[in-house]
Amino acid sequence: MATRQGKFRGFKRTSQLLEGQIRQVGESRGFAVSRLLTHWPEIAGETTAAIARPVDVKYNRQGFGATLTLLTTGANAPMLEMQKEQLREKVNAVYGYNAIARIRITQTAATGFAEGQVAFAHRPKPAQPAHDPVIDGAARDAAQGAQDESLRAALERLGKNVLSKAKR
């Protein structure tokens, strides 16, 4: 928050710091409402967001009836094709009026092949370290001084992670 002297006091949220930059980039790509980009999983739903990303919004010359381009993989395109009308209604609810008249589904990015290399799958979880009785015992001994049970368990997990990483 700015004071009358123009100095800042306290911290600002990251969203406030990046809001202008996100809006500028989004508007250059046709996204008048940056919320469409930043909250895509909430707007489209988790299952749709896992298989598709918005890449472009093109307005026609009269300014009405924009086309939203979604990027997806080949196998998911038919499923999205069947959901286009429901998805268009959800997106227009974000805009507050019928801004999007059509949804175009593409398997490559609308502006180039480099942007089409989007990974839609979540990263695999890292493998859990194998249980080593020596490491488990050392972590348990290190956490013995903690009185609170949940704190002791957290310290044991931390100790196991640190000791197993050092062993590797």
Please indicate, yes or no, whether residues 57 and 87 belong to a single structural domain of this protein: yes
146 assigned to some structural domain: yes
One-letter amino acid identity for 110? A
pLDDT at 26: 46
128 assigned to some structural domain: no
Does the pTM surpass 0.85? The reply is: no
Calpha distance 147→136 (Å, rounded):
19
How many of the other CB atoms lie within 10 Å of CB of 158?
13
11 assigned to some structural domain: no
121 assigned to some structural domain: no
Please indicate, yes or no, whether residues 35 and 81 belong to a single structural domain of this protein: yes
pLDDT at 84: 93
Please indicate, yes or no, whether residues 155 and 84 belong to a single structural domain of this protein: no
Q: Are 81 and 107 in contact (CB under 8 A)?
A: no
Please indicate, yes or no, whether residues 61 and 24 belong to a single structural domain of this protein: yes
Please indicate, yes or no, whether residues 53 and 109 belong to a single structural domain of this protein: yes
pLDDT at 82: 93
Please indicate, yes or no, whether residues 32 and 84 belong to a single structural domain of this protein: yes
Strands 66-72 and 52-58: antiparallel
Domain, as residue range, for 106: 16-113
Please indicate, yes or no, whether residues 60 and 138 belong to a single structural domain of this protein: no
Please indicate, yes or no, whether residues 104 and 148 belong to a single structural domain of this protein: no
2 assigned to some structural domain: no
Q: Given CA atoms 87, 92, 98, 99 in this order, what sign does their dihedral have?
A: negative
Please indicate, yes or no, whether residues 60 and 98 belong to a single structural domain of this protein: yes
Per-residue confidence of the chain (168 residues) as pLDDT tens digits?
A: 444 555 556 676 665 665 566 555 545 544 555 677 778 888 898 888 888 888 888 877 766 678 888 988 878 889 999 999 999 999 888 877 787 889 999 886 555 555 545 555 555 666 665 678 888 888 889 889 888 999 999 999 898 888 887 666
Q: Give the count of domains, the chain.
A: 2
149 assigned to some structural domain: yes
pLDDT at 85: 94
One-letter amino acid identity for 131? H
Domain of residue 43, CATH code: 3.30.300
Please indicate, yes or no, whether residues 109 and 137 belong to a single structural domain of this protein: no
162 assigned to some structural domain: yes
62 assigned to some structural domain: yes
